Structure 1
């Protein structure tokens, strides 16, 4: 039996006859950390949104957790897929505890179960101090708010977590710290599948078990970071990785 959790079969997406995605085919195994790399307009965010039904394909099939999305109850599907975005989207009038509890409340969980889940998740994302529960989003730093966003996405223990450039608005040091924490979190959660969209090459290579490089709605290469670096499949991938080397050379020049 296949342990595939996400599968795209000949998926295409058009907006007003303009093709954004063309014949996308890939398979992701349960428990993988997949990073999706590409420039603006490459189709990476559209691909992510098709996984939880926020965008529907023009043609082709998408299978998520064994269910064809053509036949799926999308509201129920989304309640069991974590979603973390750049803007975070915390409700400003709710406390941190209330923000994390939004989906569990919709699912009718008992207050005891909600309280236990909130406490556990705040500990998981490094905000275990009691003061955070009753704080409001405006009282937290950007990095702390993003941690709450991750905790909220984990609230129903979803098998799949989607991340749409979640760290791109943060300063470099906070971003680097959160990357390390997210990598550790994925390792500790064992069987969670992470699908992480980014335009940052170093972030993609550091986080991903495999990296999907997209360009003009197509996959240029879907491979391990090591194979991408050692064996770029196309000129686009080679040029993309060349920018990393350029930056390295630049710093070496300044340090001479």
Structure 2
């Protein structure tokens, strides 16, 4: 039986007279990999930030893991949600193992448990613990640092992982490799719910088992990648798919 883990009920978000999200309702089940696709200003990052309480809705209800965020301790909510962003934000004066251990230390885990968790997570993201544990962030490539960012977000075994365009600053080859790695990680962690914001349609279609297409603060389609490609539900969706088909045509011309 599926378990609903994230639910928005008629959520609106306004800044002064500027309405970012007029009326948003959706639900996500435990274990899904949701990609959120939209251009700048579509409301996708605002939606992500409302899931972990970094932004509060102007009206409506946000329910995460059976908790209404209006009536709960947001600090406690943060401890059960992993968060990966483009800037990564590793502490430069700490080793890789120490970076991964930040939240477990705050929660009072034993050193033995912390050390084992760092080893397990480094190997999960494809970084040999013996080689990387005692390195510092400056000694890693951008792609390796982003892997450590994923490991750190997973450190306390949260049921929900949020990704805010984490790969957008990376080169195309590194980005594609990390997409494949992240997809494999999700397949191994079957109970984890991933919510991944991107403006890259190929990334959204490759990673998500469902794709949320957002435009001007509204969901225009929320469906499987196949449904989004073959039956776009709006003119905006058709335009997005059109860019993919144009790229395919260009590659055919260049052969």
The separation in 1 between residues aligned to 2:115 and 2:48, in whole angstroms, is: 31
Does the aligned pair in 1 maintain the 2:5–2:29 contact within 8 Å?
A: yes
1:86 alignment partner in structure 2: 86
2:124 alignment partner in structure 1: 124
How many correspondences in the alignment? Answer: 255
When normalised by structure 1's length, the TM-score is: 0.98
1:204 alignment partner in structure 2: 204
2:151 alignment partner in structure 1: 151
2:28 alignment partner in structure 1: 28
Does the aligned pair in 1 maintain the 2:20–2:216 contact within 8 Å?
A: yes
**Which runs of 5 or more structure 2 residues have no equivalent in the other structure?**
none
When normalised by structure 2's length, the TM-score is: 0.99
1:236 alignment partner in structure 2: 236
> Deviation digits for residues 7-61 of structure 1, max 9, x if unmatched?
0000000012200011100000000000000000000000000000000000000
- Tell me how far 1:129 sits from its aligned partner: 4.0
Q: Tell me the C-alpha RMSD between the 2 structures.
A: 0.8
- Tell me how far 1:2 sits from its aligned partner: 6.0
Q: Secondary structure at the match of 2:70?
A: coil
2:99 alignment partner in structure 1: 99
**Which runs of 5 or more structure 1 residues have no equivalent in the other structure?**
none
Q: Secondary structure at the match of 2:25?
A: strand
The separation in 1 between residues aligned to 2:54 and 2:247, in whole angstroms, is: 36
1:141 alignment partner in structure 2: 141
2:14 alignment partner in structure 1: 14
Q: Secondary structure at the match of 2:71?
A: coil
- Tell me how far 1:128 sits from its aligned partner: 1.7
Q: Secondary structure at the match of 1:127?
A: coil
